Amino acid sequence: MALRLEGIRHAFGDHVVLRGIDLAVAPGEIVCLLGPSGDGKTTLLRIAAGLTPLQHGRVWIGGALVAEPGREVPPESRGVGLLFQDFALFPHLTVAQNVGFGLRGPAKADRVREMLARVGMQRFADAMPHTLSGGQQQRVALARALAPRPRVLLLDEPFSGLDARLRDRVRDDTLHVLQQEGIAVLMVTHDAEEAMFMADRMAMLHDGVIAQEGPPAEIYLHPATPFVAAFLGEVNRLAGTVRMGMVATPFGPVPAPGLPEGATVQVLIRPEGIRLMPQGAGEPCHARARVEAARLLGRTSMVHLSVHDAGREVHIHARIPGEYLPARDAVVAVALDPTRAHVFPDDEQDRAAA
């Protein structure tokens, strides 16, 4: 493994932020550490980099032990590249000088030209950082982090300072560069969509422990806890009771494997799991719902609905591909895709995603 963290525990005074983290990143793999703000993600990254002293556990880079309590290899000797959200370019150095900072030897100029070409910034080699846009500064910072050929690249919210449209383009470009470089990447973010876009593997951090780890699709489709399900995207929440291995909902039964008969549960349904048809459509459905609002969000439409469940009115959201804008107060038929519904014991706590 290019990076291995073993049994990492850390506290600020009486406040424990990491409670025994085990995490590894293979060469050429991009792992995203995802979770709410304040849950210790950046602290773990700083421990890996050597910027925060290790309290408990071990850090291995490239098969070498670089940190254990009382003995730490300094950051500059660990073979890691760092890219933070503020980019931290040297304002008094040109773009080329920034990228070449810390490089030595006769191949320095060639490596600077290579990295600037890799990020599409070769035309700006003599420019000063303050003349660049946010996206251009991010590219320069990425080139500088990769120029020394680190064994591991650590990214801390690298796109958070960019506006939404620029962020999409820059992170797409960054992903291609990282894949071409083929080094191990550990990236911290609290943006679920960003993590699913960037990662080969995600680690969901919650209350100081890894709540779930695996490929993005696996975690999204098979969340281990209510927290994980809700953090990765909007969910509709319903209450129910297990009867013969199923939970009744207004849209039809949902499987509840492994849960005991009579257990009180919460059913989390993703908006894309709600299928809508005009009233009177011939397809089978399990409920009628009243449209409260419908909004086109570009590639999808979000439809706000009210439906009756056990004698009470429940408000739900449905996300429909393309343009689907039924009139307010229209009645639509509703069916459920059970693969987008997740059942958890009612006493399994989750807190709001921050």
The residue with tokens 């690249």 is 153
- The mean pLDDT of 34-41, rounded to a whole number, is 91
Pair 327, 291: CB distance under 8 Å: yes
pLDDT at 218: 96
177: left (phi over 0), alpha (psi -120 to 50) or beta: alpha
pLDDT at 251: 87
Structure confidence by residue, pLDDT tens digits, 192-246: 999 999 999 999 999 999 999 999 999 999 999 999 999 999 999 999 999 999 9
User: In whole angstroms, what is the distance from residue 89 CA to residue 204 CA?
Assistant: 30
Q: Looking at per-residue confidence, does 250 or 57 come out higher?
A: 57
User: In whole angstroms, what is the distance from residue 233 CA to residue 231 CA?
Assistant: 6
Token digits of residue 163: 């506006």
pLDDT at 155: 95
User: In whole angstroms, what is the distance from residue 233 CA to residue 313 CA?
Assistant: 23
SS3 for the chain, per residue?
CCEEEEEEEEEECCEEEEEEEEEEECCCCEEEEECCCCCCHHHHHHHHHCCCCCCEEEEEECCEEEEECCEECCHHHCCEEEEECCCCCCCCCCHHHHHHCCCCCCCHHHHHHHHHHHCCCHHHCCCCHHHCCHHHHHHHHHHHHHCCCCCEEEEECCCCCCCHHHHHHHHHHHHHHHHHHCCEEEEEECCHHHHHHHCCEEEEEECCEEEEEECHHHHHHCCCCHHHHHHCCCCEEEEEEEECCEECCCCCCEECCCCCCCCEEEEEECHHHEEEEECCCCCCCCEEEEEEEEEECCCEEEEEEEEEECCEEEEEEEEEECCCCCCCCCEEEEEECHHHEEEEECCCCCCCCC
Return the bridge partners of 2, or none.
none
Looking at the predicted structure, is the pLDDT value of residue 281 above 90?
no
- The average confidence (pLDDT) of the chain is 91
CA angle 248, 219, 260 (to 5 degrees): 35
pLDDT at 285: 64
- Lowest-confidence pick of 34-38, 96-100, 121-125: 34-38
pLDDT at 353: 41
pLDDT at 96: 97
User: In whole angstroms, what is the distance from residue 93 CA to residue 79 CA?
Assistant: 23
User: In whole angstroms, what is the distance from residue 340 CA to residue 306 CA?
Assistant: 19
Structure confidence by residue, pLDDT tens digits, 42-53: 999 999 999 999
pTM more than 0.75: yes
- The mean pLDDT of 110-119, rounded to a whole number, is 94
Please name each of the domains of the chain with its CATH number: 3-228 (3.40.50.300), 234-345 (2.40.50.140)
Q: Give percent above pLDDT 90 in the chain.
A: 79
User: In whole angstroms, what is the distance from residue 211 CA to residue 228 CA?
Assistant: 7
User: In whole angstroms, what is the distance from residue 188 CA to residue 206 CA?
Assistant: 13
Residue 244 has φ and ψ, to the nearest 5°, of 55, 45
- The mean pLDDT of 6-24, rounded to a whole number, is 96
Looking at the predicted structure, is the pLDDT value of residue 185 above 50?
yes
pLDDT at 311: 77
CB atoms within 10 A of CB 280: 7
Q: 337: Cβ–Cβ under 8 A, 6 or more apart, which residues?
A: 272, 273, 274, 275
User: In whole angstroms, what is the distance from residue 308 CA to residue 102 CA?
Assistant: 65
pLDDT at 351: 43
The residue with tokens 């383009």 is 169
Pair 33, 41: CB distance under 8 Å: yes
